[in-house]
Amino acid sequence: MMKRIKILLYGDQNLNIMDGSAIWLTSLANILTYNGNVDLSILLKTPVKRRQVMDNIKQQENITFINPFGVAGRTILKRTPRLEPKEASEVIKKLDKENNYDIIVTRGKDLTSYCLKKKYAYKLIPYITDFNFTKSSNDKEFFKKAYKTSKALFVQTEEMRDYLIDHLHVSGEKFIILPPTVTDIGTEPRFGISNFSIVYTGKFAKMWETEAMLDTFLEVKKDIDMLSLNIAGDKFQADLSSRKGKIADQFDNTSGINWVGAVSRDESMKLIESSDLGFAYRSSEIDNDQSLELSTKFLEYGISGKPVVVRKTKQYVKLLGEDYPLFCNSFDELVEKIKLAFTNEEIFRKAAKRCYQASEKYQITNVSKAIISELNKLIQSKPTILFASHDFKFLNWYIDHCKQSGKYNVLIDKWRNHSAHDERKSISLLQKADIIFCEWGLGNAVFYSNNKLKGQKLYIRIHRQELVTDHLQLVNFNNVTKVIAISTHIYEEFHRVKNIPRNKMMIIPNMVDVNRFNKLKQENVEYHIGLLGYLPRLKRLDRAITIFEELYNHDKRFKLYIKGKHPKDLPWLWKQPIEIIYFKKLFKKIKRSKWRKNVIFESHGDDVAEWFTNINFILSTSDVESFHLAPMEGMASGTIPIVFNWPGAETLYPLENVVKNEKEAVELILNQVENRTDSRHDYEAMVKKYDMGTIISKLDDIIFGE
């Protein structure tokens, strides 16, 4: 069972600028929030003014974005417009003190240097990039400190991990490979030429061969006149920033070039999908046999089914194979290979398929599962289960089990009644929970089904009372993991009456602590009849009195033991005239009867197992029940159940012990007394199905299993 992880993410990147580092941050946000097990907060370097980069984040409603210059009515920093690394480390300190994150992810060497000096450094997972291990560089000492101090370190590739292990002389167990990702693709794309177009999306820089791309396009177009070049991006870097105007003019005014500027990643992917061939050819200063990083652009082209022109390096040979047909290491080869791709469809398809296959494992579902699994290993904390109810009397045993197991953190949200609760407390508890268990499907189920967070599991256990309330109509069953019915009849009734989808339902019956009730009977209990719980009037105490009266008239040794709360103990009940009249009439009848001394009222208490040692017959005289635990507990103690045929009784109790009326009940009891058989072994197999160990195992499997 994966627990929820609280993560703060801060990359020293401006999310108003579309570039690789900004895309990295949004991609990581998507990886972390993909399966809903992470509560992610993103600290912004600057206030967001352009949406193109931010729009790449898919689960924005489940992410807390923190603007340090003014958020939620408060300001962390008074000046604007950008965080510097040192002050960012201070803001992170303040945020961690308030929120106690499990993990803090950083990107940026200067930023991470400051963070490593803070008390929260043990929570850090820096993303390592841009290192220089020459003699004149201090990088090696910095990364050694980062490795020693941090919880873990993200690296992009296996090659980078192995390089760092060699140069830092570390074991490598702290490295987590965080590769670039691409969007999941449902079906394999079509591999073929559509419109003779090249596509490039990304930054414009000398080492990214922006000008070579233009020259190559113009050269190939001499032979393939219909050739076009689709370009997305607006960041001119380093040497090219001074020539931005000239290059932009070429983009705008060269026939066949379609420059769309800065767009979101989704729009960028659409541009790729509408094109034929991807351009990922870069300078040998970046792409060479010592290269440690993998191009996200290559993967985006590949997953879209596009062949890609790239340099022949060890990394690309490992990905694509030695015989990949579109490797090129010079301008002339670049021109030649693009012409080859567009004039030989077999080569085109072979290259496209090879690029697609190389990109498949980088789909976000695969990467997210792997990363979250690694982070869970680091946290090593127990999943948190939140129990919410106005009444836990049928579930206390399982709550105790969860507490005593030591495997789980247990939270309790005690509601005042069916609908009233402390909403602020409930929201606070909700944010800490991995699993929510609503005992009864009442207001608690409504609240949690409409407020649960993505990735949280929600279970609702229903009894019978919910059939006569309107709460379940307001439950959002799309957010419910399972509805647990306590009997077959309850399962069918709630599906029929409340339209709960069958695929959301399952049956796990009530529990009986068989060992607790396995006690020797006292002597001379053959004529002792029991009724455990007689409120409200639907329990039909009048039937029990009628049965007892008939038996007493037959043999004065019969006694009726009634255990439970008095009507006056329940204020809500004693306010209802129909209940008051019913019980006053019965109590008056008992008081005036000749057999009153043989009717013994005993107070409610936790001594039920001991009480059953004095009982030979246990009555279930109710009009309706969902399960009725008392007869089952009685059977565990060797007590004979006498169960009226309330709906569903025949699915739970032996048919020979189910009666239609008082007369049948009297006859059954008299027959059993005359035969004087020990029924303990008769019920052993039946009650074992409801034994505590069995039911705990079923609940644990469904709640805490993967």
Per residue in 644-690, pLDDT (tens digit) is 999 999 999 999 999 999 999 999 999 999 887 655 557 888 898 99
Of 132-141, 407-416, 462-471, 560-569, minimum mean pLDDT range: 132-141
Phi, psi of 391 (to 5 degrees): -150, 115
Q: Where does 428-521 show beta strands of DSSP type E?
A: 435-439, 457-462, 482-485, 505-507
Among 478, 507, 536, which residue terminates a domain?
507
The one-character DSSP state at 605 is -
Q: What is the pLDDT of residue 73?
A: 41
Q: Which residues, including other chains, have CB under 8 Å from residue 17's CB and lie 6 or more apart?
A: 53, 235
Do residue 487 and residue 528 come from a single domain? no
CA–CA distance, 226 with 229 (Å, rounded to integer)? 10
* Stretch 177-183: mean pLDDT: 91
Do residue 410 and residue 527 come from a single domain? no
Q: What is the pLDDT of residue 16?
A: 75
Do residue 479 and residue 534 come from a single domain? no
Examine residue 622 and state whether it is found in any structural domain, yes or no: yes
Give alpha helix (H) positions in 5-67: 20-33
Examine residue 317 and state whether it is found in any structural domain, yes or no: yes
What's the maximum distance between 2 C-alpha atoms anywhere in the chain? 117
Query: Is there a cis peptide before residue 47, judged by omega within 30 degrees of 0?
Result: no
Q: How would residue 76 be classed by pLDDT, with cut points 50, 70 and 90? A: low
Q: What is the pLDDT of residue 137?
A: 63
For the segment 533-586, what is each residue's pLDDT rounded down to a tens digit?
A: 999 999 999 999 999 999 999 999 999 999 999 999 999 899 999 999 999 999
**Six-digit token string for 12:** 């020293």
CA–CA distance, 603 with 617 (Å, rounded to integer)? 19
CA 621 to chain centre: 44
Report the candidate in 287, 297, 271 with the shortest Cα–Cα distance to residue 330. Answer: 287
Examine residue 379 and state whether it is found in any structural domain, yes or no: no
Query: Is there a cis peptide before residue 571, judged by omega within 30 degrees of 0?
Result: no
pLDDT > 70 fraction of the chain, expressed in percent and rounded: 96
**Within 10 Å of residue 169's Cβ, how many Cβ atoms?**
10
CA–CA distance, 377 with 366 (Å, rounded to integer)? 17
**Six-digit token string for 293:** 């990083």
Q: Which long-range contacts (CB under 8 A, 24 or more apart) does 672-675 make?
A: 672/617, 672/640, 673/526, 673/527, 673/555
For the segment 6-26, what is each residue's pLDDT rounded down to a tens digit?
A: 999 998 887 877 677 788 888
Can you state the angle between helices 158-168 and 139-149, rounded to 10 degrees?
100
Examine residue 312 and state whether it is found in any structural domain, yes or no: yes
* Residue type present at position 7: I
Q: What is the CATH number of the domain that holds 261?
A: 3.40.50.2000
Report the candidate in 102, 654, 658, 678 with the shortest Cα–Cα distance to residue 377. Answer: 102
CA–CA distance, 266 with 53 (Å, rounded to integer)? 10
Do residue 44 and residue 152 come from a single domain? yes
Number of domains into which the chain is organized: 4
Do residue 402 and residue 522 come from a single domain? no
Do residue 233 and residue 101 come from a single domain? no
CA–CA distance, 407 with 427 (Å, rounded to integer)? 24
Strands 175-177 and 197-201: unpaired
Return the half-sphere exposure (C-beta side, CA atoms, 13 A cut-off) of residue 309. Answer: 30
Most confidently predicted of 261-275, 288-302, 349-363: 349-363
Are 436 and 459 spatial neighbours (Cβ–Cβ below 8 Å)? yes
Q: Where does 524-635 show beta strands of DSSP type E?
A: 528-532, 559-563, 599-602, 617-620
Do residue 291 and residue 267 come from a single domain? yes
Tell me the average pLDDT of the chain: 92
Q: What is the CATH number of the domain that holds 482?
A: 3.40.50
Do residue 547 and residue 491 come from a single domain? no
Rg of the Cα atoms in the chain: 36
Q: Which residues, including other chains, have CB under 8 Å from residue 54's CB and lie 6 or more apart?
A: 15, 26, 48, 60
Q: What is the pLDDT of residue 61?
A: 78
Query: If DSSP states are collapsed to H, E and C, what string results for 158-189?
Result: HHHHHHHHHHHCCCCCCEEECCCCECCCCCCC
**Six-digit token string for 14:** 């401006």
Q: Number of helices and strands (H, E) in the chain?
A: 25, 24
Give me the domain span that covers residue 444. 384-507
Among 480, 507, 534, which residue terminates a domain?
507
For the segment 584-616, what is each residue's pLDDT rounded down to a tens digit?
A: 999 999 999 999 999 999 999 999 999 999 999
CA–CA distance, 620 with 544 (Å, rounded to integer)? 9
CA–CA distance, 172 with 170 (Å, rounded to integer)? 6
CA–CA distance, 555 with 264 (Å, rounded to integer)? 88
Q: How would residue 400 be classed by pLDDT, with cut points 50, 70 and 90? A: very high
CA–CA distance, 621 with 641 (Å, rounded to integer)? 11
Q: What is the pLDDT of residue 57?
A: 83
Question: What region, left, alpha or beta, does residue 336 occupy, with left being phi > 0 and alpha being psi -120 to 50 degrees?
Answer: alpha
Burial tier of 306 (Cβ tally within 10 Å: 0-12, 13-18, 19+) = buried
Are 282 and 311 spatial neighbours (Cβ–Cβ below 8 Å)? yes
- CA end-to-end span of the chain, whole Å? 5
Examine residue 426 and state whether it is found in any structural domain, yes or no: yes
Examine residue 10 and state whether it is found in any structural domain, yes or no: yes
CA–CA distance, 302 with 286 (Å, rounded to integer)? 20
For the segment 318-363, what is each residue's pLDDT rounded down to a tens digit?
A: 999 999 999 999 999 999 999 999 999 999 999 999 999 999 999 9
Do residue 331 and residue 440 come from a single domain? no
Examine residue 51 and state whether it is found in any structural domain, yes or no: yes
Q: Output the DSSP codes for 298-349.
A: HHHHHHTT--EEB---HHHHHHH-TT-TTB--SHHHHHHHHHHHHH-HHHHH
Do residue 498 and residue 529 come from a single domain? no
Examine residue 700 and state whether it is found in any structural domain, yes or no: no
Computed from CA positions of residues 463, 468, 471, 477, in that sequence, does the dihedral angle turn out positive or negative? positive
Tokens 């949280």, located at residue: 456
CA–CA distance, 288 with 282 (Å, rounded to integer)? 10
Do residue 409 and residue 525 come from a single domain? no
Is the confidence at residue 258, as pLDDT, over 90?
yes
Residue 448 in 3-state DSSP?
helix
Coarse DSSP helix, strand, coil percentages of the chain, rounded to the nearest 5 percent: 45, 15, 40
Tokens 């379940």, located at residue: 472
Query: If DSSP states are collapsed to H, E and C, what string results for 503-525?
Result: HHEEECCCCECHHHHCCCCCCCC
Is the confidence at residue 1, as pLDDT, over 80?
no
pLDDT > 90 fraction of the chain, expressed in percent and rounded: 76
Do residue 335 and residue 406 come from a single domain? no
User: What are the Cα distances from residue 26, in Å, to 9, 15, 56, 181, 369?
Assistant: 10, 9, 6, 11, 17
CA–CA distance, 353 with 307 (Å, rounded to integer)? 7
Q: What is the pLDDT of residue 185?
A: 86
